[in-house]
């Protein structure tokens, strides 16, 4: 047996001649080491009326050995052979933290190189490359690794949703198969490529939890399955459409990375390892404090009138914004959403003097200028489409399905990527632009590439290649991924962007749940969170500035509110909010994010603590009418039991929730409490109205 380990997490993998099998993985302990003298100690007994050999859950599970679940690798050659391969291990390289295996099936004509590693954030990563070593083409159906989880895992948690309500946590019993599939061509609003399983009733700070995610921005399949013999496993891989991926002799398929995590003290610790991995290894560079964004979309929409935008830039600087982003409508014939996509040149109609007057005003205020692109899309009513109608992901002979009056360009074609690179680079080179908001506003439907085969896989690979090339050519530009909000958020896109737009909804009540779910995957400094106008444009609900600001505080804060329509008192209050964000953003963007449990379902509680447990900032939000007349205390288990902390309310936006209802004593000037008290009894909470938020600041007094 091989054991690899790093940071307290270890993986045990079979030795031998065949497909490697992960025997166990998780937090390493001396007791586990003593109990596991050899790999046979993992084997269950054989039940009656079954095969003579116990079919393993191989790293890539093999149907050819009798595995009864979903095979980890499948495909076929033109004559139908090679559909059920069985690999032999020809080489292995094992060191302290990684194990790499070369496997071949000479009959099927396939070579598989698989690597399992434990690295930054103490996560487990799985990578694999499948090569066709035969003499005829090989069509890949799937390549998806499997990780076993203990049979006492009793519940499954996945993320699902819709536009403007992404990342909703869903739990169900771990019985049979839970399958999450995405065929949207982008990561999607409806599902996320992640799954967690845990012991019965696992909570944010309690229970054993195992989870895995796929670093891929296209179609995918995620499986959590309990087999008939009681064994359980997770399996994740790209969902390949029929005939989509054919390997010519000598050609290889590089599978999207699988990243796995585990914890013996709840969901927050497990997902926290995902976030640490993103911070340490995935994202392109250290981000530093996140500047306050002002985005123009909800302020002006397509009405790009220069004097008004100049005034808006002045107002943005006045409230303390540090980045000004010009959204849709600046290019080509784009006066509404029916035309112009694909023609990425400054519109002489909307901008007769060019973008320079606005950029110069923004830069004089010391702000960074940002701009919106939607490079993957094209309107049929555009010059690009009129010249190159064949550049779209459509299928010959069929009327294409439009979405938002647009089609998807085929980034699997080098000439399309070259055209987009040239157009975008020209804008970035000719103007002082430090930020790009990259949008992608529709699903891919019946998207055939140049060969006539399904083209989603090659489009996503091409997207990654184009983003990598643009980042290399323009290293001082930051990039945001937006896809009608949160429809493309995954570890694959996080590796190539500095920020994601979490949702098109700025409704603070909905955002509390959206951001809670997204926090399983995205560090707060990469999670775009804006203060919208009092009335949300997606729900119509009206919220106070205090509630909207407290919600946006725990992300990369921005403003999506027409500053020119504000009352003077609102602008003054907004200045105070932005100043508060700047005061605390170092903690918010470098600290450890935590989610807190509370028995009242109408309460959403979370926060950030620093690595030394000397300070923390927490939010308690009421998102609905309570079921009880008073609230039980909020337990905060993420502080040091041995330290004494000063606990005080932090009022934001001029709002003091709960002070009108005989608040607990600590809210009157603060109080000192031990970390053990806060993690045991908990912090007494005031009674406050629905759709309000209370901020709590905790600072160490002494040890």
Q: pLDDT for 304-316, tens place per residue?
A: 999 999 999 999 9
Look at residue 50 and tell me if it is in a domain: no
- Give the C-alpha distances (Å, rounded to integers) separating 250 from 66, 242, 247: 29, 21, 8
Mean pLDDT across the chain? 95
C-alpha closest to that of 12 among 26, 478, 451: 26
SS3 for 21? coil
Longest dimension (CA), the chain: 82
Domain boundary among 532, 555, 585: 585
Name the β-bridge partners of 556: 528
Q: Do 212 and 302 share a domain, yes or no?
A: no
Question: What angle separates helix 545-553 from helix 508-518, to the nearest 10 degrees?
Answer: 10
The sheet that has 615-622: what strands, in order across it?
Answer: 592-596, 603-609, 615-622, 692-702, 644-650, 671-674
Cα–Cα dist 703/700, whole Å: 8
Look at residue 46 and tell me if it is in a domain: no
Q: Do 512 and 635 share a domain, yes or no?
A: no
SS3 for 309? helix
Look at residue 287 and tell me if it is in a domain: no
C-alpha closest to that of 374 among 365, 363, 382, 366: 382
CA atoms lying within 13 Å on the CB side of residue 462: 24
Q: Of 65-69, 342-346, 656-660, 661-665, which range is least confident?
A: 656-660
C-alpha closest to that of 584 among 214, 368, 289: 289
- Give the C-alpha distances (Å, rounded to integers) separating 21 from 15, 16, 56, 466, 675: 8, 10, 7, 36, 43
* Bridging pattern class, strands 478-481 and 499-501: parallel
Q: Do 407 and 475 share a domain, yes or no?
A: yes
Instruction: Show the CA angle centred on residue 588, arms to residues 659 and 663, nearest 5°.
Output: 10
Look at residue 563 and tell me if it is in a domain: yes
Average pLDDT over residues 177-185: 98
Confidence of residue 484 (pLDDT cuts 50, 70, 90): very high
Q: Do 107 and 224 share a domain, yes or no?
A: yes
| Per-residue buried b or exposed e for 71-98, using 16+ beta carbons within 10 Å of the residue's own CB | bbbbbbbeeeebebbebebeebeeeebb
Say how many C-beta atoms besides its own lie within 10 A of residue 452's C-beta.
10
Cα–Cα dist 527/553, whole Å: 11
Structurally, the chain folds into a number of domains equal to 3
Look at residue 690 and tell me if it is in a domain: yes
Q: Do 164 and 28 share a domain, yes or no?
A: yes
Cα–Cα dist 537/178, whole Å: 35
The sheet that has 22-27: what strands, in order across it?
Answer: 2-6, 9-13, 22-27
Instruction: Show the CA angle centred on residue 70, arms to residues 67 and 74, nearest 5°.
Output: 95
Q: Do 129 and 194 share a domain, yes or no?
A: yes
Number of helices followed by number of strands (H, E) in the chain: 13, 36
In this predicted structure, the answer to whether residue 42 has a pLDDT above a threshold of 90 is no
Domain boundary among 254, 282, 310: 282
The pLDDT tens digits for 606-622 are 999 999 999 999 999 99
CA atoms lying within 13 Å on the CB side of residue 579: 11
Confidence of residue 655 (pLDDT cuts 50, 70, 90): confident
Extract the runs of DSSP E, i.e. beta strands, from 459-506: 478-481, 499-501
Q: Do 572 and 473 share a domain, yes or no?
A: yes
Q: CB-based burial of residue 539 (10 Å sphere; 0-12 exposed, 13-18 middle, 19+ buried)?
A: middle
CA atoms lying within 13 Å on the CB side of residue 166: 27
Look at residue 399 and tell me if it is in a domain: yes
SS3 for 190? coil
Spatial contact of 138 and 76, defined as CB atoms under 8 Å apart: yes
Look at residue 410 and tell me if it is in a domain: yes
Q: Do 151 and 271 share a domain, yes or no?
A: yes
Q: pTM score, two decimals? A: 0.96
Q: Do 273 and 406 share a domain, yes or no?
A: no
- The answer for residues whose C-beta is within 8 angstroms of residue 574's C-beta and 6 or more apart is 319, 531, 545, 549, 559, 561, 563, 566, 653
The pLDDT tens digits for 510-567 are 999 999 999 999 999 999 999 999 999 999 999 999 999 999 999 999 999 999 999 9
Q: Which residues are catalytic, by number?
A: 439, 504
Give the residue numbers spanning the domain of 570.
293-585
SS3 for 148? strand
* Bridging pattern class, strands 644-650 and 592-596: unpaired
The pLDDT tens digits for 114-172 are 999 999 889 999 999 999 999 999 999 999 999 999 999 999 999 999 999 999 999 99
Please tell me the predicted confidence (pLDDT) of residue 34: 47
Please tell me the predicted confidence (pLDDT) of residue 691: 95
Confidence of residue 206 (pLDDT cuts 50, 70, 90): very high
- Give the C-alpha distances (Å, rounded to integers) separating 324 from 2, 343, 460: 53, 23, 29
* Bridging pattern class, strands 258-263 and 124-132: antiparallel
Q: Do 309 and 370 share a domain, yes or no?
A: yes
Look at residue 47 and tell me if it is in a domain: no
In this predicted structure, the answer to whether residue 369 has a pLDDT above a threshold of 70 is yes
Domain boundary among 532, 563, 585: 585
In this predicted structure, the answer to whether residue 389 has a pLDDT above a threshold of 60 is yes
Q: Where are the alpha helices (DSSP H) in 320-438?
A: 356-364, 383-387, 414-430
**Residue 541 DSSP label:** -
Q: Do 257 and 298 share a domain, yes or no?
A: no
* Bridging pattern class, strands 252-254 and 124-132: antiparallel
Q: Do 348 and 376 share a domain, yes or no?
A: yes
């Amino acid at each position: 047996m091989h054991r690899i380990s790093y940071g307290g997490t270890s993986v045990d993998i079979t030795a031998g001649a065949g497909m490697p099998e992960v025997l166990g993985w998780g937090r390493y302990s001396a007791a586990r080491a003593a109990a596991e003298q050899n790999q046979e100690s993992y084997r269950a007994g054989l039940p009656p009326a079954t095969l003579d050999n116990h079919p393993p859950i191989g790293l890539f599970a093999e149907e050819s050995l009798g595995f009864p679940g979903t095979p980890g690798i499948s495909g076929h050659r033109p004559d139908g052979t090679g559909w059920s391969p069985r690999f032999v291990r020809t080489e292995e390289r094992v060191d302290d933290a990684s194990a790499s295996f070369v496997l071949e099936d000479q009959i099927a004509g396939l070579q598989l190189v698989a690597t399992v590693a434990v690295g930054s954030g103490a996560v487990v990563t799985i990578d694999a490359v499948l090569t066709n070593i035969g003499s005829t083409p090989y069509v890949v159906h799937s390549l998806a690794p499997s990780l076993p989880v203990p049979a006492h895992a009793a519940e499954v948690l996945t993320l699902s949703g819709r536009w403007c309500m992404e990342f909703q946590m869903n739990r169900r019993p771990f019985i049979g198969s839970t399958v999450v599939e995405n065929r949207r061509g982008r990561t999607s609003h409806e599902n996320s490529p992640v799954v967690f399983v845990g012991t019965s009733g696992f909570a944010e700070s309690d229970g054993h939890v195992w989870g895995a995610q796929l670093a891929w921005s296209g179609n995918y399949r995620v499986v959590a399955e309990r087999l008939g013999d009681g064994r359980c496993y997770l399996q994740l891989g790209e969902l390949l459409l029929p005939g989509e991926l054919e390997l010519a002799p000598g050609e290889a398929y590089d599978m999207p990375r699988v990243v796995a995590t585990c914890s013996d003290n709840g969901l927050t610790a497990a997902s926290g390892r995902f976030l640490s991995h993103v911070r340490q290894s995935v994202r392109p560079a250290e981000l530093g404090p996140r500047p306050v964004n002002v985005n123009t979309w909800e302020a002006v929409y397509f009405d790009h009138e220069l004097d008004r935008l100049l005034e808006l830039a002045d107002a943005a600087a006045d409230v303390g914004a540090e980045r000004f982003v010009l959204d849709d409508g600046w290019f080509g014939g784009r006066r509404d959403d029916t035309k112009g996509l694909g023609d990425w040149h400054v519109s002489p109609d909307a901008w007769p003097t060019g973008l320079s007057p606005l950029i110069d005003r923004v830069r004089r205020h010391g702000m960074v200028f940002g701009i919106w692109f939607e490079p993957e899309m094209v309107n049929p009513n555009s010059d690009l489409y009129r010249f190159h109608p064949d550049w779209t992901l459509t299928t010959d002979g069929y009327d294409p399905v439009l979405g938002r009056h647009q089609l998807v360009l085929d980034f699997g074609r080098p000439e399309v990527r070259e055209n987009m690179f040239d157009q975008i680079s020209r804008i970035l080179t000719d103007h002082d632009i430090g930020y790009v908001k990259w949008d992608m506003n529709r699903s891919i439907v019946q998207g055939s590439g140049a060969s006539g085969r399904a083209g989603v896989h090659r489009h996503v690979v091409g997207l990654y290649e184009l983003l990598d090339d643009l980042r290399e050519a323009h290293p001082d530009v930051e990039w945001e991924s937006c896809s009608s909000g949160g429809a493309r958020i995954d570890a694959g896109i996080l590796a190539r962007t500095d920020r994601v737009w979490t949702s098109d909804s700025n409704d603070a009540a909905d955002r509390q749940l959206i951001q809670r779910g997204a926090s399983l995957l995205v560090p707060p400094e990469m999670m775009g969170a804006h203060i919208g106008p009092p009335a949300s444009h997606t729900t119509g609900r009206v919220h106070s500035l205090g509630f909207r600001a407290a919600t946006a505080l725990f992300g990369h804060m921005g403003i999506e509110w027409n500053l020119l329509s504000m009352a003077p008192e609102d602008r003054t209050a907004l200045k105070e909010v932005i100043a508060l964000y700047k005061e605390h953003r170092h903690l918010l963007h470098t600290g450890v994010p935590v989610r807190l449990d509370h028995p009242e379902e109408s309460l959403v509680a979370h926060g950030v603590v620093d690595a030394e447990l000397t300070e923390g900032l927490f939010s308690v939000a009421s998102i609905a009418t309570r079921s009880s007349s008073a609230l039980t205390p909020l337990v905060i288990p993420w502080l040091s039991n041995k330290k004494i902390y000063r606990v005080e309310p932090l009022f934001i936006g001029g709002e003091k929730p709960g002070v009108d209802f005989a608040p607990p004593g600590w809210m009157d000037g603060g109080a000192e409490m031990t970390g053990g008290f806060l993690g045991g009894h908990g912090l007494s909470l005031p009674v406050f109205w629905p759709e309000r938020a209370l901020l709590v600041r905790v600072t160490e007094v002494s040890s």
